[in-house]
Amino acid sequence: MFRFFRVSENEPILTRIYRFRCEILCDELGYFKKEDYPDGLEIDPYDAYSIQYAALDSQGELAATVRLILKSPIGYPTENHMEIDDNIIKELDREKLGEISRIFIKKEYRTIKSSKYIMRNFIKMIYEDMKLNGIEYTYGALEKSFFRLLRIYKMRYIVIGRLQEYGGLRYPCILYTRDLEADNPELIREWKAKYAV
């Protein structure tokens, strides 16, 4: 039904991803102003430090996208734009920190069944890249409903600050890789099988 893959730098599909993001953020959700994106592409400075992931449907159209920001010298969106519990920030090793963001699913695939399938496949790829890069925790800025949904999908984010405005009302959150592994033991099995650990 879907084809999942990482998007290499300078691939033509990157332009489609940025346009897809713009359409959802500006046209559908109204979080950003369309006039701020005259080329119709939503790109930010964190994309330069990101691994981009895409899902194409059976017609070859973008069905979903997500990115993993890591090793970012400019910090991360959640910490740069939201108030976070200082005690959490103090205990984080910057070399082991990342952020999962720009999680977008095309409207027609936002059913429980389709979105769960999409997120499960994204999680597999993201987990592999987290392990390869030594990422032990990842930020996320999540709306209340999406926070609950991701927990159902076995991404056990923890709230690390109050509900606040950031492209809609969101909680600053953190996902520990160890919790992701505990809730999804198949990820470890597949990792060990692939890398003969």
pTM of the predicted model over 0.85: yes
* Dist. CA 143–CA 157, nearest whole Å: 12
> Domain of 33?
3-195
**Can you spell out the DSSP letters for 98-130?**
EEEEEEEE-GGG-SHHHHHHHHHHHHHHHHHHH
Contact 143, 168 (CB under 8 A): yes
Q: Is 189 left (phi over 0), alpha (psi -120 to 50) or beta?
A: alpha
Q: Residue 15: which CATH number?
A: 3.40.630.30
Distance, in Å, from the CA atom of 119 to the CA atom of 113, rounded to the nearest integer, reads 10
Q: Which strand (E) or helix (H) includes residue 79?
A: helix 77-81
- The one-digit pLDDT tens for each residue of the chain (197 residues) are 899 999 987 788 999 999 999 999 888 888 888 888 899 999 999 999 999 999 999 999 999 999 999 999 999 999 999 999 888 888 899 999 999 999 999 999 999 899 999 999 999 999 999 999 999 999 999 999 999 999 999 999 999 999 999 988 999 999 999 999 999 999 999 999 988 76
Distance CA 156, CA 60 (A): 31
Into how many domains does the chain fold?
1
